[in-house]
């Protein structure tokens, strides 16, 4: 049988309580959940979920690029007030 050891971590009380609630609903303990995380870390040879900065998805990136294209296009009509924009939308 494997020898066990203690692992001491610090986290916010609210985070711990929220996680415990979820783990209880799943029928597992905090210890089991942490062990699952550690085993998956070993199995995947890294963090077992994707880590990334808050980057926009493909749809948002396409919309941003379209906005930039429109802003650069001198043939696209622009509006300086809402009344003119509304009038154009009603045409």
Please tell me the distance from the alpha carbon of residue 72 to that of residue 74, in angstroms, as a whole number.
Answer: 6
- Count of domains forming the chain: 2
Please tell me the distance from the alpha carbon of residue 31 to that of residue 8, in angstroms, as a whole number.
Answer: 11
Domain range for 25 is 13-44
Residue 1: pLDDT above 80?
no
> Residue 64: inside a domain, yes or no?
yes
Q: What is the pTM of this model?
A: 0.56
> Residue 50: inside a domain, yes or no?
no
- Condensed to tens digits (0 to 9), the pLDDT of residues 77-91 reads 888 999 999 999 998
Are 86 and 64 within one domain? Answer: yes
> Residue 34: inside a domain, yes or no?
yes
> Residue 24: inside a domain, yes or no?
yes
């Amino acid at each position: 049988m494997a020898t066990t050891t203690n692992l001491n971590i610090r986290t916010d009380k609210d985070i711990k309580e929220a996680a415990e609630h979820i783990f209880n609903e799943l029928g597992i303990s905090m210890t089991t959940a942490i062990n699952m995380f550690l085993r998956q870390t070993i199995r995947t040879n890294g963090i077992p979920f994707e880590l990334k900065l808050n980057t926009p998805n493909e749809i948002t990136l396409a919309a941003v690029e379209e906005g930039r294209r429109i802003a650069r296009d001198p043939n696209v009509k622009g509006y300086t007030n809402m009344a003119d924009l509304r009038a154009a939308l009603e045409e």
